[in-house]
Structure 1
Amino acid sequence: MMKHILLALAVIAAAPAAAILPAHAVDNIESTDAPDLTSVRAKIAAKDYSGALTELRGFANESPQADVYNLMGYTLRKTGDYRTSLTYYTKALELQPDHRAAREYLGELYVETGDMPHARAQLAELTRLCPAGCEERDDLQRAITAAN
């Protein structure tokens, strides 16, 4: 656990604030062999979705991880490829059902495609996962409220 905390602090210290996705974008790393997604996150922040996807596909081929699939879904959603994005969010949640960022981003995909019942279902899951509140739940709530 301490290794993960030190790694996270090193990543935050090394990356400029503008180049970092929200902290919850990759918040559920479970294994010690998790890939370093710093470069991917910088590419996404710079809207270099093609570069990010190339790098993410390499990670996905090496060892499937919920964080990698979540960022693949996020990146594909930002390019407008909602169908493939849905596939990757689903894969992330199959590997880690309590992945809050994947639930938020999946809910945002549903908001963007007008599927409000499914967006609200993701919000309900986030409420279950963090009943005292969390950034992911708040962000999805704002997206749902803005769409109504």
Structure 2
Amino acid sequence: MRLTKFHATVIAGLLMSGPALAMSFGNSEPTPDLKTAQSQADDGKYGEAIKTLQALLEKDGNNADAWNLLGFSYRKSNNLDRAWDAYERALTIEPNHLGANEYIGELYLRQGNVEQAKAQLEKLKILCPDGCTELTTLQTSIQKAGG
């Protein structure tokens, strides 16, 4: 399995977090660069978003939100290897990052690996037991994929 070391990190983070997972994620105010990149990605300008995020990450390489959006932009640009790397970086920094956990599930679906996408869904169920957008979105994507 490609993400064995990664999965161990995520599982360890989940086990150490226990019931404290009710805390919020990504509470910090997005930087202007992150807002710009988000707008670019929302507009489908993934190449521009990638450049903006690369510059941001040169200044702040520990920004899980930026790594997550970079992974999203790479995935939408069909650069799946770089998407994997970016999501892994986001989850190494913040193992409970809702967006990165959802998006890596979406990437599994993109590669036809419904079982691993379902495993990501189970992680999201632990991270947001009362439901969240990321959980609902991945659940819908899995259903559409026939899972």
**RMSD value, Cα:** 1.3
Identical positions, percent? 32
TM-score (norm 1): 0.77
Residues 71 and 84 in structure 2, CA contact (< 8 A), matched pair in contact too: yes
Residues 66 and 93 in structure 1, CA contact (< 8 A), matched pair in contact too: yes
TM-score (norm 2): 0.77
CA distance in 2, matches of 1:54, 1:38: 13
Match runs of 1:1-148 below 5 Å: 28-30=26-28, 35-36=31-32, 37-64=34-61, 65-148=63-146
CA distance in 1, matches of 2:48, 2:86: 17
CA distance in 1, matches of 2:85, 2:60: 17
In the alignment of these two chains, the number of paired residues is 120
Structure 1 runs, 4 residues or longer, greater than 4 Å off: none
Report deviation, 1:29: 4.2
Higher relative contact order (CA 8 A, sep 6+): 2
- Runs of 5+ unmatched residues, structure 2: 1-24
CA distance in 1, matches of 2:113, 2:57: 28
SS of 2:38 mapped into structure 1: helix
**1:94-146 alpha-carbon deviations (Å, 9 max, x no partner):** 00001001111110111111011211111011000011111100000000000
Query: What amino acid is the match of 2:92?
Result: E
